[in-house]
Amino acid sequence: MLTDAEAYSLCDIPSHELREAAAKVTAKFCPRVFDSCSIVNARSGKCSENCKWCAQSAHYRTGCEEYPLIDREKCMHAARLNHKAGVRRFSLVASGKAVKGETLKKITGMLRDIREQVGISTCASLGLLDRDEMRQLYDCGVRRYHCNLETAPSHFATLCTTHTIEDKLRTIEYAHELGMEVCSGGIIGMGETKMQRIEFALTLRRARPSSIPINFLSPIPGTPLENAEPLSDDEILDTIAIFRLVHPHTQLRFAGGRKRLSREIQLEALRIGINSGVVGDLLTTIGSTVDEDRRLIDDAGYEF
């Protein structure tokens, strides 16, 4: 495992050498089975938090679709379609600082039915849960919890002031206490420096994630980041390489924003570090179809 000093020194390595080193680590330590998951927006909009990147924050006018809770049959139908398509995991994601009370009870009921009636592995992303709330998820069969740290601690407070990274790490620790796996990553391209991306990768070690979703910012009109400069392909590939070198055994997961990447760049990302992904449509941005993803993954030499 790289020391912090060694990780920060990656900034000084030419891109070609950095990516080749990451490709070697990927080939040596990562299985050739691609871990796929699909997500459904269980509750949308009206979020109390002021995250500057998010279409669902009530602080901004983005025209985001708003609804209190997804219809159960619609959710079950989506789970069945994904299971039939060969997707390995199915996750319910909800807007808001945390899902509580009767809404949490309804969501855990849906998750239990999905696991028992559909047979697909279930995950959840329901905000900053406490111990008891996390236990309710565990009791309904959820074995992986998602909570992104989003960015480096030195940058986070410039993007969100209504909660902290420490709040997130506390929720993550509750999941670990129950023996659950953790999915935790974030978004690149929110004005952070290359050194802060390394700081972010190192901070994720505290979360001990089984999976690190890497999102590329899709600037959303109405949010404070709507005019953010898009990352170059080189910045994206270098970041993936750095994350693979800092986390040699962890699933690095293609998530939001990758649709704008060419097929060639996506294949290179799969070669140097990406070995899992959110497939199909995403939350408030368009992903790609499962069939498109399957062809891409097959061409990269992974088993879907």
Say yes or no to pLDDT of 272 above 50. Answer: yes
Say yes or no to pLDDT of 127 above 90. Answer: yes
Using CA atoms, how far apart are residues 87 and 39, in angstroms rounded to an integer? 11
Using CA atoms, how far apart are residues 269 and 220, in angstroms rounded to an integer? 24
What percent of the chain is modeled with pLDDT above 90?
Answer: 86
Say yes or no to pLDDT of 269 above 60. Answer: yes
Q: Measure the CA angle with vertex 213, ends 207 and 214; round to 5°.
A: 115
The per-residue pLDDT for range 291-302, each reduced to its tens digit, is 888 899 999 999
The per-residue pLDDT for range 9-66, each reduced to its tens digit, is 999 999 999 999 999 999 999 999 999 999 999 999 889 999 999 999 999 999 888 8
CB 269 within 8 A of CB 243: no
Q: How many C-alpha atoms does 130 have within 13 Å on its Cβ side? A: 3
Say yes or no to pLDDT of 212 above 90. Answer: yes
pLDDT of residue 285: 42
The reported pTM is: 0.94
What band does 286 get if pLDDT is binned at 50, 70 and 90?
very low
Say yes or no to pLDDT of 282 above 50. Answer: no
What percent of the chain is modeled with pLDDT above 70?
Answer: 97
Report the amino acid identity of residue 298: D
Q: Which of 37, 127, 52, 44 is nearest to 88 (CA)?
A: 37
pLDDT of residue 279: 86
DSSP string, 176-235: HHTT-EEE--EEE-SS--HHHHHHHHHHGGGG--SEEEEEE----TTSTTTTPPPPPHHH
Give helix then strand counts, H and E, for the chain.
11, 9
Q: Are strands 121-125 and 89-94 parallel, antiparallel or unpaired?
A: parallel
**3-class secondary structure per residue, 130-190:** CHHHHHHHHHCCCCEEECCCECCHHHHCCCCCCCCHHHHHHHHHHHHHCCCEEECCEEECC
**Average pLDDT for 92-109:** 96
Say yes or no to pLDDT of 289 above 80. Answer: no
Q: Which of 141, 84, 72, 68 is nearest to 280 (CA)?
A: 84
CB 59 within 8 A of CB 86: no
Coil, helix or strand at residue 3:
coil
Q: Which residue has the tokens 């990451």?
A: 22
The per-residue pLDDT for range 184-209, each reduced to its tens digit, is 999 999 999 999 999 999 999 999 99
Strands (E) in the chain, as ranges, are 35-43, 89-94, 121-125, 144-146, 181-183, 186-188, 211-216, 251-254, 276-278
pLDDT of residue 284: 41
Using CA atoms, how far apart are residues 55 and 51, in angstroms rounded to an integer? 9
Say yes or no to pLDDT of 288 above 80. Answer: no
CB 257 within 8 A of CB 265: no
Ranking 216-230, 236-250, 271-285 by mean pLDDT, the lowest is 271-285
DSSP string, 108-119: HHHHHHIIIII-
**Average pLDDT for 239-256:** 97
Report the amino acid identity of residue 66: E
What band does 72 get if pLDDT is binned at 50, 70 and 90?
very high
Report the amino acid identity of residue 182: V
CA dihedral 243, 247, 248, 252 (to 10 degrees): -60
Ramachandran region, residue 199 (left: φ > 0; alpha: ψ -120 to 50; beta: rest): alpha
